[in-house]
A and B are shown apart, each in its own frame.
Chain A
Amino acid sequence: LAKTTQPISMDSYEGQEVNITCSHNNIATNDYITWYQQFPSQGPRFIIQGYKTKVTNEVASLFIPADRKSSTLSLPRVSLSDTAVYYCLVGDSSASKIIFGSGTRLSIRP
């Protein structure tokens, strides 16, 4: 069962690039890496997903090294509205292997 480890919290300032790293040493061959964002009193929102190398969309980039034992979510030029909890998940099509973990609480300051 692939478990993820993330920093409990991070602080940054508006306009900075923020990188959140997730460790998943037991990731299986078929597992994808998925990141979600959650604001207080809301359900999580999908940010990005990848399998290997680099994936980029309009809000974030995901960097995955060749051994896939970790991944880094990169948020360019953060704003106050990026203050949220960020969850890294790994899993395959077997739903019982989907585990959210405790996430990283990101706080952005002016």
Chain B
Amino acid sequence: NAGVTQTPKFQVLKTGQSMTLQCAQDMNHEYMSWYRQDPGMGLRLIHYSVGAGITDQGEVPNGYNVSRSTTEDFPLRLLSAAPSQTSVYFCASSSTGLDYEQYFGPGTRLTVT
């Protein structure tokens, strides 16, 4: 199993551009989530999903959209990139819930200039 995969590993955007961060898992997990981690800080929950077709907001959802059309994939869309969105983005999945064991991807390092 590949576990949780994320693409791209690195991305540089200009202010106002849009893009999609990809996340996929091959463990048939129902729960998936997106976090951002700013330098020296802990992770903050952006959006999460409890199954295909179901998504909800986390702690810092503004400026991001998600959808969950399949169990495997959970893309994160940046609508109009801002320098404040410069961060490392982690995707995670879990079979039992966000408060139980989550498996994290390797992260995407995003810089917005």
Contact = CB atoms under 8 A, between A and B. Distances in A.
Contacts of B106: 42-43
B44 interface: yes
Interface stretch (A17-25, A61-69, A91-99): A91-99
Contacts of A101: 42
B42 A98 contact: no
B81 to A, nearest CB: 22
A92 B100 CA distance: 9
B43 interface: yes
Given A42-B107, A43-B92, A43-B107, A96 B101 contact: no
Taking residues whose C-beta sits less than 8 angstroms from the other chain, chain B's interface range is 20 to 34
A32 B100 contact: yes
B99 A102 contact: no
B41 A102 contact: yes
B19 to A, nearest CB: 20
B45 A87 contact: no
A97 B59 CA distance: 8
A92 B41 contact: no
Nearest to B109: A41
Interface in A81-108: 87, 89, 91-93, 95-103
Nearest to A47: B101
A21 to B, nearest CB: 17
B43 to A, nearest CB: 4
Contact of A95 (B41, B44, B48, B90): B48
Contacts of A96: 45, 56-59
Contact of A49 (B41, B57, B100, B105): B100
Query: 6 closest Cβ contacts across the A-B interface?
Result: A43-B104, A100-B42, A91-B99, A100-B43, A95-B98, A46-B101
Interface of A: 31-32, 34, 41-46, 49, 87, 89, 91-93, 95-103
